[in-house]
Amino acid sequence: MTPNKTDCILEQLKFEPVKSCPVVVNFNGETVTSDAGLTLIAELDRKREITSRLAQCFKDYREPSRIEHSVSNLIAQRVYGLIMGYEDINDHEALRYDLIFALAVGKVINSEKESITLAGKSTLNRLEHCPENISSRAESRYHRIEHDASAIETLLVEIFLESYSKPPRQIILDLDVTDDLVYGHQEEVFFNPYYRGYCYAPLYIFCGKHLLAAKLRASNVDPASEALSELQRIIKHIRSRWDKVKILVRGDSAYSRENIMSWCESQTGVDYVFGLAQNSRLLQLSQSIQYRASQEYSQKIQTVVEFFETLLAPSPDLEKQATAFVDNSVWYSSLDYKTKDSWSRNRRVVSKVEYGEAGIKTRFVVTSLPTKLVPPGRLYSQKYCPRGEMENRLKEQKLDLNSDRTSTHTFAGNQLRLWFSSVAYILMNALREQYLAKTELQNATVGTIRLKLLKLGATITVTSRKILISISSSCPYKEIFALVYNYLSLLPYPG
């Protein structure tokens, strides 16, 4: 809960003395910040022009003579707040006086100690709030900033393309949906029995750790709703720059739909591998390898039991004890399969049968990749299973960047909040992928990078000659900080 400014805060907070020396804490450190690492993000953003290009996706109908905070500054302030862990707009009532945030958005700071004020919660709210009763932003009194949804979606793909110095041979596009629980009267919110609550169901598309799409959706739609249109839009954009790249589309069983698979099959250089829900027909077709797996497992158990009998007295518990020394038997096979009505053609289905102490487990995936190119075992373990890594990206979005903070009333406003969180992720991932690649933080989550590299306490001294940010000399990650700075210093400024 954010305390009100009228709440009473003692001027001096006295703690237990240490060796008879009093310990006193106060909040009078006016030139102290806890976010000194934001200087790295701001430098990266200036040279990659990410938030400034996002600002170009907005139209500002305000009177130029009355503008104190530009759209570019508003967006940078909002995105930087998310990166530093400030999920709520109300947090900016205090952050508007923070010198680090002022420096990050390009405010001029002088040694005269003049008050530097950034946008407060009301101004930021006018940026992202999308009232449903306003038909023209140009004529609105309070909400005169409008965003172009199509331009923002295009920008996310464009930034992904720029992250490669040359076109890759193959990319993998991962699709997945997550829940976004809400607790108010937001537009297009429905109860979803699978997620056991009222929520949105945003669709994400990633390529590795790169985010390409974040589409907010109502939770009463089909899990694969809008997946095909998003794929078509993204692949068309990619093909306009990389006409020869091979694309593999990957997802769970929610996306093994006729329209998605048939479209991929109609495209040159586009393949797919999707999970497939089991049914009685698929289980029947895989009976032969189920039998082989059970026979192999039984043989391995028998071999261990016979060895135990040479060392121990015969016992009915030997077989149970032997299971601790035997791996499960795993078999793969390719099947030629077609549904009765929903599929237009026969397709390759790969079955995985795992037999062990707990019994038999059977999984299926459907793919357009031929057997001669990718054998069934390699297809399942190397092509399909790595899609689980996308769950970590969704966790970063929700847990570290608060993408589920969709608490404004309108659907369009919540979509905009989701995009702000997405751009915050893009900045953090650019820092991780390009400048932390050879450090201990190369595989760290967004939250860990923020904690260790960005949330740094520092004193700020402003003179007529310079602005000095003094981080503690005992900072354990100062070598990594300096390394990132060296990499960033090599990047040219745009223009």
pLDDT confidence of 140, banded at 50, 70, 90?
Answer: confident
Is the per-residue pLDDT at 329 higher than 60? yes
How far apart, in whole angstroms, are the C-alpha atoms of residue 130 and residue 140? Answer: 11
Question: What is the Rg, in whole angstroms, of the alpha carbon atoms belonging to the chain?
Answer: 28
- How many CA atoms within 13 Å lie on the side-chain side of 339? 12
> What pTM, to 2 d.p., does this model score?
0.90
Length of the chain as a residue count? 495
Distance from chain centroid for Cα 157: 14
Is the per-residue pLDDT at 171 higher than 60? yes
User: What SS3 state is found at 316?
Assistant: coil
The tokens describing 261, both together, are 């698979």
pLDDT in tens, 408-461: 989 999 999 999 999 999 999 999 999 999 899 999 999 999 999 999 999 988
Among residues 351, 331, 224, 214, the alpha carbon closest in space to that of 281 is found at: 351
pLDDT confidence of 38, banded at 50, 70, 90?
Answer: very high
User: What SS3 state is found at 368?
Assistant: coil
% of the chain residues with pLDDT over 90: 72
pLDDT confidence of 17, banded at 50, 70, 90?
Answer: confident
What are the two backbone dihedrals, phi and then psi, of residue 177, each rounded to the nearest 5 degrees? -125, 150
333 compared with 319, residue with greater pLDDT: 333
Is the per-residue pLDDT at 144 higher than 90? no
Among residues 35, 14, 20, the alpha carbon closest in space to that of 450 is found at: 35
pLDDT in tens, 290-301: 999 999 999 998
CB environment 338-370: b (16+ within 10 A), e (fewer): eeeeebeeebbbbbbbbbbeeeeebbbbbbbbe
Sequence-distant (6+) residues with CB within 8 A of 275 are 251, 252, 253, 254, 256, 363, 364, 365, 384
How far apart, in whole angstroms, are the C-alpha atoms of residue 431 and residue 212? Answer: 17
15 compared with 100, residue with greater pLDDT: 100
